[in-house]
Amino acid sequence: MVTPRRVVVSGCGAISAAGNDVEAFWSALLAGRCLLQPLAHFTAPEMDVLTGGEVALDEEDALPADVDTDPERARCEQLALAAASRALRHAGLLGQTATLANAGVILGSTMGLERQIGDLSQRWSAEGSAAIDGSFGLRVDEHRLPALIAARCGLGGPVWHNATACSSGNAATAWAFDTIVRGDADVMLAGGADTFTRSLFNGFGRMGALAKSVCKPFDKSRDGVSFGEGAGILVLEELEHARSRGGHALAEIVGYGISNDAYHVTAPDPNGTGYARAMSQALSTSHVEAARVGYICAHGTGTPYNDLGEVRAIRTVFGDLAPRIPISSIKSIIGHTNGAASALASIACVLSLRSQRIPPTANLTEPDPEFGLDFVMGQARAAALDLCLNLSAGFGGFNACLLLGRMP
Amino acid sequence: MASSTTIAVTGMGVIAPLGDSPVALAEALAQARSSIADLPEPSPASASRLTDFDFTRYANIRGMRVYNRASRLGICATRLAMTDAGLESIPGEDLGLVFASHHAHLDTLIEYDRNLVTLGPSRTNPSLMPLAIASAPGAVTALSFGLKAFSITLANGDAGGLDALGLCMHLLEQGRARAAMVVSASSLCSEIVLSAVRAGLLAEARNVRVFDRDSRGAALGEAAVALVLERMDHACQRGAQAKAILRGHASRFAPRPDLIPAGLARAIRRALDAANSTPADLALVSSAGSGVPEMDRAEALSLIDVLGEEKTPVTAVKAAVGEAGACSGLLQTLAAISSLSAKTAWPIPGLRNPAVPGLTYVTQATPLRGNHALVTAATRTGSCSALVLSSAND
């Protein structure tokens, strides 16, 4: 009988308002301090000063001229490249050309490449069709995002762009997990990247979905989402491959569940029916008892409907266990980073499993009395963690839940 | 030999200028017809356009009037494929969708952002914003038919169609749905046409000559294809007839254009391994040849490398219907299925003098021997993909 291939996380790259390395990221999450501030480097037409989680990149992350000459329009690409190089360095794989030649990358994003469109819209008024150049088609090609990483890091395996809105990071990780399980690669990079765009703030603003001040996931007074920019990339690796090269198995990807609400273009199913199916599938396909889940890293955007549907789904799946499982959301610390959000949340789960601590939900002071769940708030909590469930849901209704396990 | 997890194609829907059914498209391809014509502007450019597409002829679902052309095309092709497969008895919770997109949302995004910049925020239509993201065409397709097992969008450029088939195969093998649609739709976006002209990728219709030494570039194509995939055991249970079997898929990356021949060869070999097949098993190659000289040359070199002495017929549907982005892989797959069914390789219109000799290019309808076909894709961003399929009676 063939032993199933196990997949571990052997490196992480986290770029967010909390800093550009894993240690800074984890330190900020454990502190539970809200890093959402007035944006210094991004504005949108006729909107007040915007609030969000802004990234300050390091000198080493300067955008190579052969990627783009304009760092403003290529911000998403810059964030993705920064996270990828850090993830490979963390895994001890940077420059390991033989290994990387067979490795691949699956990346997700939601609106980040819209910055390239924005550049066009501004020039269109003055230049008309002359604003279009021969490279425009390539620059707005979503596949270019993972392809840039692959080209710069020397990857020769599958290179995909997953677009499932705010569940993109988890979905990308799920497909990368499958790629390794079926033996199509031993090493895969997976995650997501996104940045601020005009349409993002304008669209959510017009829909009344932006938080008036900062987001307060699961709070009684929650009133909307706060955005962040960032990138999260995990190095996934077949367990024996990681061991044989002396790599670190930081945590295990145990399995995943997926579903689609098919309810509304933007609104989640308020009963969380589809979301619950994804959670249940993650448990059943991984042959895991619900009681082993010690932490739920929630999508927790802070919008009234998202949080309601998510809580209902958790209660449906976990039943009597639900009130005893610690839950938190990292979005009130670094903002909702859209396509990167669930990848950064996966890194939070990896670090939770490593340190046996759960980060608190910033800005949550009075949980919605309807919810009745164990929200971690105020300060980080020590816990005996065996498994973490990382939840994500996106525009269009696609849900993706990732199950991560502790490595001894 | 089909195992319980063998993945079958049980339904097909197509909307293309050469026909809106697999049979009509196959008839046109057999006659070496092409729908490629010059565009009045910009120049030089040509395209295969759907000049009389009326979505209400195929589907009239709530919300469609707001959706962009690619989304409407995708929904209509999905309706055709679902009807062909007879999926009415399967609940939405057991049906999934993988949408392969290459710029399918882009016209909506450009319009939204341009209005925001030029007219101001208050003049934008907030209902367009959720339709301006890459996952929107797939999401509204899944919403239109209540597909609840999954709704995934892959944006892998022109290789996306084949990769969507590969991803969907694996999800069905794991039992994450009973059946799923793989859908792609391509419409002409004026900014992309202009950029392609300025990049020197397009040519007048007379100079679009796939694999020919006189080719100057490609034509763009409008089309939509939906294929219903299903585990063979599930298809048998409900009495559905398989039209083809998907045997193996792989994708690899070439970090530089000069490495595409090697990258595509690696993808093909991996797909053959996954299908437990060898080059000798292949009756047909349904290639990605588009008329862009350097890309056609790269693919030809790759096929020579893999096929060696085999005289496998090589055909190229893009010579008839243009480069339809992510939809191309599905059009190539559809053409391969109809070829295997008719035991005939469809000719490549306009090919007279191959730029790279050493392959058996199909220049007239040719009888096929064997049941397996290879479908290939390669993109300018370096993605290389391959799919091996067989006829249903293999």
User: Which pLDDT tens digit goes with each residue over B325-336?
Assistant: 999 999 999 999
d(CA A248, CA B228) in angstroms, rounded, equals: 42
N-terminal to C-terminal alpha carbon distance within chain A: 25
Q: Is B86 in the same domain as B210? A: yes
Helix (H) or strand (E) holding B367: strand B366-367
Question: Is the CB of residue B56 less than 8 Å away from at least one CB of chain A?
Answer: no
> Judging by beta carbons within 10 Å of its beta carbon (0-12, 13-18, 19+), is residue A369 exposed, middle or buried?
exposed
Nearest to B126 among A164, A203, A264 (CB): A203
pLDDT tier at B394, thresholds 50, 70, 90 = confident
B1 in a structural domain: no
- B387 closest CA partner among B320, B288, B311: B288
Q: Could you count the other beta carbons within 10 Å of the beta carbon of residue B327?
A: 34
d(CA A234, CA A155) in angstroms, rounded, equals: 15
Nearest to A45 among B116, B163, B383 (CB): B116
> Judging by beta carbons within 10 Å of its beta carbon (0-12, 13-18, 19+), is residue A126 exposed, middle or buried?
exposed
B167 in a structural domain: yes
Would you say how long chain B is, in residues?
A: 394
Tokens at A280, concatenated:
């249940």
Q: Where are the beta strands (DSSP E) in A93-245?
A: 104-108, 159-162, 187-194, 227-228, 230-238
Q: What is the DSSP letter of B130?
A: G
d(CA A297, CA A317) in angstroms, rounded, equals: 15
Contacts for A270 with CB less than 8 Å, ≥ 6 apart: A305, A308, A309, A312
3-class secondary-structure state, position A67 = coil
The nearest alpha carbon in chain A to B325 belongs to A141
pLDDT for A237: 98
Residue B310 pLDDT greater than 70, yes or no: yes
**Tokens 């290789």 label which residue?**
B159
The predicted model gives B259-272 an average pLDDT of: 98
B180 in a structural domain: yes
pLDDT for A119: 80
Q: Chain A partners of B131 at a C-beta cutoff of 8 Å?
A: 265
Which residues of A are identified as catalytic?
166, 299, 336
Pairing outcome for strands A104-108 and B220-221: unpaired
Q: pLDDT per residue over B171-213, tens digit each? A: 999 999 999 999 999 999 999 999 999 999 999 999 999 999 9
Its domain, for residue B127, covers 7-237
pLDDT tier at B1, thresholds 50, 70, 90 = very low
The nearest alpha carbon in chain B to A261 belongs to B148
Residue B3 pLDDT greater than 60, yes or no: no
Q: Is B110 in the same domain as B256? A: no
d(CA B294, CA B215) in angstroms, rounded, equals: 10
What superfamily would CATH give domain A8-251? Thiolase/Chalcone synthase (3.40.47.10)
Q: Fold identical between A8-251 and A255-406?
A: yes
Torsion of CA B8, B12, B16, B21, to 10 degrees: 130
CA–chain centroid gap for B10, Å, is: 17
Torsion of CA B276, B279, B280, B282, to 10 degrees: 90
Question: Is the CB of residue B119 less than 8 Å away from at least one CB of chain A?
Answer: no
Q: Is B144 in the same domain as B51? A: yes
The predicted model gives A185-190 an average pLDDT of: 98
At A99, the amino acid letter reads: T
Mean pLDDT score across all residues of chain B: 96
Q: A402 near A170, Cβ under 8 Å?
A: yes
Pairing outcome for strands B95-100 and B36-38: unpaired
**Tokens 């749905």 label which residue?**
B177
Tokens at A391, concatenated:
């939840």
* Structural domain count, chain B: 2
Phi/psi-derived region of residue B175, left when phi > 0, alpha when psi is between -120 and 50, beta in every other case: left
Q: Chain A partners of B195 at a C-beta cutoff of 8 Å?
A: 132-138
> What Rg, from alpha-carbon coordinates, does chain B have?
20
Q: Is B227 in the same domain as B134? A: yes
CA–chain centroid gap for A294, Å, is: 20
Provide the shortest C-alpha distance from residue A50 to chain B (in Å): 15
Q: Is B217 in the same domain as B256? A: no
B323 strand-pairing partners: B220
Nearest to A151 among B157, B170, B382 (CB): B382
Q: Residues A235, A82, A162, CA angle at the centre, nearest 5°?
A: 60
Contacts for A23 with CB less than 8 Å, ≥ 6 apart: none
| Residue B161 belongs to domain with CATH number | 3.40.47.10
Q: Which CATH number fits domain A255-406: 3.10.330.10, 3.40.50.300, 3.40.47.10, 3.50.50.60?
A: 3.40.47.10
Domain ranges of chain A: 8-251, 255-406
Cβ of A121 within 8 Å of Cβ of B266? The answer is: no
Cβ of B133 within 8 Å of Cβ of A163? The answer is: yes
Q: pLDDT per residue over A110-161, tens digit each? A: 988 889 987 888 888 889 999 999 999 999 999 999 999 999 999 999 999 9
Nearest to B149 among A155, A160, A260 (CB): A260
CA torsion sign, B376 to B95 to B342 to B291?
negative
Contacts for B109 with CB less than 8 Å, ≥ 6 apart: A114, A117, A199, B132, B133
Q: Is B138 in the same domain as B281? A: no
Name the phi and psi angles at A73, rounded to 5.
Answer: -80, -20
Tokens at B90, concatenated:
């399967």
Q: Is B132 in the same domain as B262? A: no
pLDDT tier at A185, thresholds 50, 70, 90 = very high
Q: Choose the weakest-confidence range: A43-52, B271-280, B306-315.
A: A43-52
Q: Which of B237, B262, B292 is the last residue of a domain?
A: B237
Contacts for B141 with CB less than 8 Å, ≥ 6 apart: B71, B74, B75, B78, B97, B99, B147, B151, B181, B183
Provide the shortest C-alpha distance from residue B371 to chain A (in Å): 25
Q: What percent of chain A has pLDDT over 70?
A: 100
Q: pLDDT per residue over B48-104, tens digit each? A: 999 999 999 999 898 899 999 999 999 999 999 999 999 988 999 999 999 999 999
At A376, the amino acid letter reads: V
The predicted model gives B293-298 an average pLDDT of: 98
Number of CB pairs, chain A paired with chain B, less than 8 A apart: 243
Q: Is B123 in the same domain as B258? A: no
Phi/psi-derived region of residue A378, left when phi > 0, alpha when psi is between -120 and 50, beta in every other case: left
Pairing outcome for strands B313-315 and B244-253: unpaired
B280 in a structural domain: yes
Contacts for B185 with CB less than 8 Å, ≥ 6 apart: B70, B71, B73, B74, B77, B104, B137, B223, B224, B225, B327
Q: pLDDT per residue over A355-402, tens digit each? A: 999 999 999 999 999 999 999 999 999 999 999 999 999 989 999 999
3-class secondary-structure state, position B249 = strand
**B220-221, strands of its sheet edge to edge:** B36-38, B46-48, B220-221
Q: pLDDT per residue over A321-335, tens digit each? A: 999 999 999 999 999
Q: B73 near B118, Cβ under 8 Å?
A: no
**Tokens 């994450």 label which residue?**
B176
Residue A246 pLDDT greater than 70, yes or no: yes
Q: Chain A partners of B251 at a C-beta cutoff of 8 Å?
A: 158-160
Cβ of B151 within 8 Å of Cβ of A398? The answer is: yes
Torsion of CA A165, A167, A168, A173, to 10 degrees: -170
The predicted model gives B124-134 an average pLDDT of: 90
Nearest to B109 among A114, A151, A161 (CB): A114
Cβ of B113 within 8 Å of Cβ of A198? The answer is: yes
Name the phi and psi angles at B303, rounded to 5.
Answer: -65, -40
Would you say how long chain A is, in residues?
A: 408
Helix (H) or strand (E) holding A168: helix A168-181
CA distances from A353 to A279, A346, A350 (A): 19, 11, 5
For an interface test with A, which of B75, B156, B198, B273 has the most A Cβ atoms less than 10 Å from its Cβ? B156
Q: Is B53 in the same domain as B191? A: yes
Q: What is the DSSP letter of B347?
A: P
Residue B145 pLDDT greater than 60, yes or no: yes
For an interface test with A, which of B133, B189, B269 has the most A Cβ atoms less than 10 Å from its Cβ? B133
Q: Is B197 in the same domain as B266? A: no
Q: Chain B partners of A45 at a C-beta cutoff of 8 Å?
A: 116-117, 120-121
Q: Is B223 in the same domain as B328? A: no
The nearest alpha carbon in chain A to B190 belongs to A129
pLDDT for A1: 63
HSE-CB at A40 with a 13 A cutoff on CA atoms is 6
Cβ of A398 within 8 Å of Cβ of B135? The answer is: yes
Q: What percent of chain B has pLDDT over 90?
A: 93
Q: Is B272 in the same domain as B217? A: no
Q: Chain B partners of A202 at a C-beta cutoff of 8 Å?
A: 116, 121, 124, 129
Pairing outcome for strands B282-286 and B313-315: parallel
Q: Residues A195, A197, A201, CA angle at the centre, nearest 5°?
A: 115
Q: In terms of pLDDT, which residue wins out, A70 or A281?
A: A281
pLDDT for B88: 85
